[in-house]
Structure 1
């Protein structure tokens, strides 16, 4: 994956869905197709076993099975990262980090909200991060400011301290604040490290100030559009089109988040992928009104594809 010292080429890292069968079992055939779909779209890497994967609704064994499957299907074409911390004593979390790394991933991602309680100080959190680093040998690590169980956003100074160890190479940022993004990038400048922004409202600006790429749920609708933006965000001959794409993401933010990931699975069905809309996580009612909005999104994107001459993947 891109690092901050390689800012010329930006990358899209999908936060992968987990396809389930209608009976709730993991659908590994659909997971194969979905992985290939991301790769065909031009993804620079894959984030397996994340919140979009319904990771908290998976057993430990299922988490490992999914990660191993994605690594096998990807077959080294792009690197894979995956979550490896799910609460409990740091020693216990470190054991699972090592298990995940043994699956063949490039880096193991730590959930910031599971390394300390919400009322713990930054000092307590920092101590636990360094404890995790010490107990995971030479495993490359990353962070994800996951909103579940609560969102703990790292400061630029904290991120610098961790990256300076040489062990932290990846960060999925959800601070939603371009000024914080700038501060984090400045603090970690020169290190072999990549910050991937999740917030598409300021996607273009984030790429321009040095983010290594984007890692957003919008890639579970039209990954090729996110790749297009990563490729063309700074193309002076496409300024109008880039602005149009940026606005498209802004305008459709709400519909893509409503009863997610059911809506994303339904959208991918419309694109031709053979997967169920079943989710283990309770995310609300997929009502006729929500479905109507997703259908409109599909039509609007189809028109945008034609305007930008982006081919359909399926």
Structure 2
């Protein structure tokens, strides 16, 4: 997946129908929406996809559908580390890789319990490497089942394995992000920051791109940031946009992914506000707040010369 440009890769949400089954017709429209926004890849079967609330068969069916519909236009990665044992995780990784994705992503919290030392984490990763042949792999510091942040030392050892081509980081602290970006430099790994308030800083420090939930609200804005963060002539707008994105980021996380589905409805997509992970309806106040962010988003587009989809 290595190219010279910066890339925005959305963590895909899953549309559901009235029976809370995957709505593949709407999913096609969502994929078209992402592509029209200028994204450079997809992260399927991820936390935003509600992967913990769908079955193994649904994870595979969902990923396979996305691969077939995208049809080679953009690269796709998807989570593979499901199962009770490392052997189970390796088996599912093989199944999801066979759907045609570019790399299978391993959730760091799947390879050691919260109190386990890094030595055990590395041992389990090494076992996973041995059981998955030459399948390209990636890592993701997913918040669930718990957020296992990789230290720079652990990250260095994993990068040295030459098995990783992708990393989605949730370190948040810029010193930690910078240390890992420096380790990933000149390797086969692409480093993506998941934390929107870091976007300008991570991109300028050398991250390959961003992969944040904000792309399920306004993907063309994150694409603009990836395209312009290093442009000397755009630094005033880049800094202004970063301030705007940081201000609203805690708000869009509330009631997510329901918040994203409501926001995309406002943008004209026929996505129902049905979620398997968020059971409550959005309150009138939550809707009003998202309405206000939508108005703010239109102002961003106006200043930056972006035609909203």
- TM-score range (shorter-chain normalised) is over 0.9
Contact 1:259 1:283 in 2 (8 A): no
Among 22, 27, 36, the alignment partner of 1:26 is: 22
Residue by residue, what CA displacement relative to the aligned partner does 1:128-177 show, whole Å, maximum 9, x if unpaired? 00000000010000011001110000112212211222210100000101
Higher relative contact order (CA 8 A, sep 6+): 1
Could you say which residue in structure 1 is the equivalent of 2:278? 282
Could you say which residue in structure 1 is the equivalent of 2:130? 134
Structure 1: give runs of 5+ residues left out of the alignment.
none
Among 275, 298, 301, the alignment partner of 2:294 is: 298
What TM-score comes out, normalization by structure 1 length? 0.96
12-21 or 249-258: bigger deviation: 249-258
Could you say which residue in structure 2 is the equivalent of 1:16? 12
Could you say which residue in structure 2 is the equivalent of 1:205? 201
CA distance in 1, matches of 2:218, 2:182: 31
Residue by residue, what CA displacement relative to the aligned partner does 1:226-264 show, whole Å, maximum 9, x if unpaired? 000000011121111111110111110122101000010
Contact 1:87 1:115 in 2 (8 A): no
Structure 2: give runs of 5+ residues left out of the alignment.
none
**Aligned residues between the structures:** 309
CA distance in 1, matches of 2:36, 2:129: 35
Secondary structure of 1:276's aligned partner: coil
Give the Å deviation of 1:80.
0.2
CA RMSD between the two structures: 1.1
Question: Deviating runs (4+, > 2 A) in structure 1?
Answer: 282-285
CA distance in 2, matches of 1:303, 1:117: 45
Could you say which residue in structure 2 is the equivalent of 1:226? 222
Could you say which residue in structure 2 is the equivalent of 1:61? 57
Among 283, 291, 307, the alignment partner of 2:303 is: 307
Correspondence 1:111 to 2:107: yes
CA distance in 1, matches of 2:243, 2:73: 32
Give the Å deviation of 1:86.
2.1
Give the Å deviation of 1:213.
0.2
Contact 1:67 1:82 in 2 (8 A): yes
CA distance in 2, matches of 1:150, 1:194: 23
CA distance in 2, matches of 1:34, 1:55: 17
Give the Å deviation of 1:189.
2.4
